[in-house]
A and B are shown apart, each in its own frame.
Chain A
Amino acid sequence: MRVRKRFLSPNSRALLLVLLFLLLRQARAGAQDWVRTGTNLGAPRIRLAAADFNPASPDSQTLELKPTFDTTLLNDLTNAGIFDMVSKSLAPPVMPASPQQIDLAQWAAPPANAAMVAFGSFAVTGGRLAVYGWLFDAKNPESPQILGKQYNEVASQDNARLIAHRFADEIITRLGGGIPGIAETHIYYISSRGGNKEVWQMDYDGQGQHQVTHLGTISLSPRVSPDNERIAFVSLGRRGWSIRMYSLVLGRVVNFPSMGGTTLSPAWSGDGSKMAFSSSPSGDPEIFTSDASGGNVKQITTFRGPDVSPTWNPRTNSQIAWCSGRTGLPQIYTMEADGTNVQRLTDGGYATSPSWSPNGQFLAFAWTRKYGPGAPGGQDIYIMDIASKRWTQLTHDQGRQDFPTWSPDGRHIVFQREQGGGPEIWTMLADGTAQRRLTQTGGNSMPNWSWK
């Protein structure tokens, strides 16, 4: 009798069972959803309609504050640069107050052709402002809700604008792929409206301009810290130019140990822990780094020729771009934060005021490509991709441009323009379009965009 050998030994059978079990587990673990999309399907701007909000209470302040809210919301969404806004004349003349009241087919049909609708109700009761806002997908009637938010603040014009900024930021963050909106950010700049050059502050859209420092002397180059608590700037004091620190929390200038000699152009690192500045204890300006409290000062450049205007890479916090005159005319260089690996970026002309973009990829700077008496062109804003050294000119033949600085979403640049008369502050999208003037009177210069 032949003993039939088992096909598999017990050990192999156990192993096979384990493998089978794992395979089945793998199959059942695919409970996640799948989506499929691609590049050749078009990625145009989202067509967004911002409806006028419904006045939901009979209080007189409702009608007084609502236009501010509606206008601010529309402007914020337009300025974001990522939407194709439906103009109010094409939108249906309705003010839906809640999801039950909106007719999405009306908004999705021509002439509005909206893909998304932002609407809601706006009411002032007893001195408090309550806003309910929704963002609906007009092309998806089965499950249209993307956002539903409510806000409650003391009723005032400033708060009406603030709520509009917050709602616009929510919409921009959701539809813009996770990059936070800039509607609540501020721009710090120098204005000589009061006689002296002092540090002023305004909202990103030019509203709410007010003076911050009252030193009675010349102040320059304000740089706000990443946590929005302090502004570092330089001021002409008894001992010459030094870095001063203003606390926005305390509302006054606080002590800061500035180096001796002419110390200029402070720059914060992206995490707020370090500062870079230029100082000339020996007569030749060099770049120094220090802690945010002013201690642990290290010199990182030693070449002859002025080294000024440092700016940190806000993503890695370990690279600095600055402007150096070591070859004659000022050019833009980058280096590591300890001074090694110096790379030259511009190949000629007169280049100043570098500003590093928040995603670490680009530098914006002011450049006169052909420098010299009678040379064509002027000082314009350029952006350069650092890895490939490819540059693009953003402004053309509109006066002298200088001091560009990036917005925290990397989509906007604010800069100073002199077009006959004094310098004023302008803003534009980072591709050079949508240039708008933010300041009107006095000489306004050296803008700096807050980090959040």
Chain B
Amino acid sequence: MAVYSGNDDILDQPEGIGSPFAKSTFLHVLIFALLIGYGYLHSFFRENEWGSNNTQQGAIQATLVSTAALPLPQDHPPTDNVLATETPSPAPALEEQATEPLPLPEAVPIPEQQTPPKAAPKPQTQPPPPHPPPPKPQHKANYGEAAPPNAPRSTANVSNANSPVAVTGGDFGTRFGWYVDVIKGKVAQNWYLPEVEQSTPVGATVYIQFTVARDGSPSNISMATPSGSSSLNSSCLHAVQRVDTFGPLPPGYNQSTLNVLYHCTYPGTR
């Protein structure tokens, strides 16, 4: 029977504990460091957390002015500027005063006729009082629009600009101005300004015509005069289409329908 000597068996050899311990410690520390480092770095790339408030789904906060209309009155103040530009061109330049040509050096002045002395000088009269300064030019075109609400409510009735046939306006506006106000208010309330491109010039106007039936529902909605902006045109058409009814036509009006020519004027962004 062979007997192994103690020095040959690896199990009998004394082990040094320092080196393996150091390696083991090092590897343990490395693993922990990797775990912590991974967790730390991963926190920078956070995905959809449970119940978090990130806005990836797209619910957008809005102020009430820009949401589509609640059936409450919204105050659109009247626009003053009806021109198609905010910076109207200045008045044409004044003509230059015609300057007298300089007399030639050798010219001799022509002696003037001796006029007989005047009679006693005329009595001094008071200078006329100075005229009041002329009013500043307004950018408001006065062509018979319905006046702001404080004035008597008599809307001017004008025939359709495009129709070759002359149609008498009728007196609906004078008798039932309140109904015209209802029409004005309801379409204005359903007019969704953010639909119009912001590059549209302030004061651009589109004219829409439609017919109001006896029960107050609009029909035959069409564009009478387009503006230069197609987004303004379609936004005004949509505003009228959104209205279900203006309320029944007043009983005192005995026609079956009412024709309306409605204009939408872009007031610019606020």
* A contact residues vs B (CB 8 Å cutoff): 26-27, 30-46, 81-82, 113, 115-116, 137, 139-140, 142-143, 146, 173-179, 328-329, 344-350, 359, 361-362, 369-372, 383-385, 387-393, 409-411, 429-432
Contact = CB atoms under 8 A, between A and B. Distances in A.
Main secondary structure of the interface of B (DSSP, over half): loop
Identify the 4 closest CB pairs spanning chains A and B, nearest first: A33-B170, A178-B247, A390-B62, A38-B263
A347 B174 contact: no
A347 B59 contact: yes
B86 interface: no
B180 A173 contact: no
Nearest to A387: B68
Nearest to B163: A30
B72 A82 contact: yes
A345 to B, nearest CB: 7
Contact of B60 (A35, A40, A143, A389): A389
Main secondary structure of the interface of A (DSSP, over half): loop
A142 B152 CA distance: 10
B26 interface: no
A140 B169 contact: no
B157 A347 contact: no
Given A176-B71, A348-B57, 16 more contacts: A33-B255, A34-B159, A34-B167, A35-B180, A41-B184, A113-B150, A140-B153, A140-B177, A143-B175, A143-B176, A176-B182, A347-B53, A347-B54, A388-B68, A389-B58, A390-B61
B72 A177 contact: no
Interface residues of B, number: 92
Contacts of B263: 36-40
Contact of B75 (A44, A359, A390, A430): A44
Contacts of B261: 34-37
A179 B257 CA distance: 20
Given A177-B246, A178-B247, A390-B60, A39 B177 contact: no
B250 interface: yes
Nearest to B144: A36
Interface string B140-172: 000001101111111111111000010111111
A197 B184 CA distance: 47
B52 A348 contact: yes
A177 B167 contact: no
Given A37-B184, A42-B76, A410 B70 contact: yes
B134 to A, nearest CB: 27
B227 to A, nearest CB: 12
Given A37-B146, A39-B265, A347-B58, A431 B182 contact: no
B51 A348 contact: yes
Interface in B61-75: 61-64, 66-68, 70-75
Contacts of B57: 344, 346-348
A396 to B, nearest CB: 13
B160 A34 contact: yes
Contacts of B181: 43, 46
Nearest to A141: B152
B242 to A, nearest CB: 9
